[in-house]
Homo-oligomer: A and B are copies of this chain.
């Protein structure tokens, strides 16, 4: 299912897009130079501070974005304030819900985030013109659906200890996609606070903290400055994730 992309001389490609990851691994790879030029005219780059809300619940969405760096958390809330993170978006994910005027979820910068944003209308016109763009979007959506279903298993059937281990594994793999299970050691910055991790795993802050210290006292991981995690034995971490 690999299609060879015609490699035109890069003069036709907007400067903005030249080295953009979204053009290589993201949805923009679907577009030819002319289309890129058209879209780039209406696009704009932003950097966003952690904690800032990108899309509010029940707000009308007037733009779509590509995540260029950082982590965006997608959340849903119950009326009494209980919150659940229902997805995390990393570069070069496409951010936004096509074919719906109202968003049913919140999007918030979990870390510092940089975005490339497009007006709603431009993207939708482009989608009508380019089936390849819809194709990429379909692929990303299917991947997100797979991820969501994996997390449903975690949320519904795993213990607190397994949830935290699974979370650490997921982050480790996302930071370093080439990570193979035989290496025993990795190291990374947690993109989420304890509160976020709790909201992601359907737990309380205290339980997350307790499970992390348990992993630490069992010397499966080390933690420095609350955020920096070193996994000493990836295999032992995996064995605690409930498969």
* A-to-B contact residues, CB < 8 Å: 1, 74, 76, 78-80, 82-84, 86-87, 97-100, 104-105, 131, 134-135, 137-139, 141-142, 144-146, 148-153, 155-158, 201-202, 242-243
Contact = CB atoms under 8 A, between A and B. Distances in A.
Contact of A149 (B86, B134, B137, B157): B86
A98 B142 contact: yes
A1 B78 contact: no
Contact of A1 (B99, B131, B148, B149): B99
Contacts of A137: 138
A97 B137 CA distance: 15
Given A86-B149, A86-B153, A155-B202, A139 B78 contact: no
This chain: copies in complex:
2
A78 B155 contact: no
Nearest to A162: B78
A150 B152 CA distance: 10
A202 B157 contact: yes
B78 A142 contact: no
A157 B99 contact: no
Nearest to A159: B82
B152 A145 contact: no
B99 A146 contact: no
Contacts of A87: 149
Contacts of A97: 142, 146
A99 B156 contact: no
Given A148-B149, A151-B152, A152-B152, A78 B157 contact: yes
24 contacts: A1-B99, A76-B149, A76-B152, A78-B243, A82-B242, A83-B157, A84-B152, A84-B157, A86-B149, A86-B152, A87-B149, A99-B142, A100-B142, A131-B134, A134-B134, A134-B138, A138-B138, A141-B141, A141-B145, A148-B148, A151-B152, A152-B155, A155-B155, A155-B202
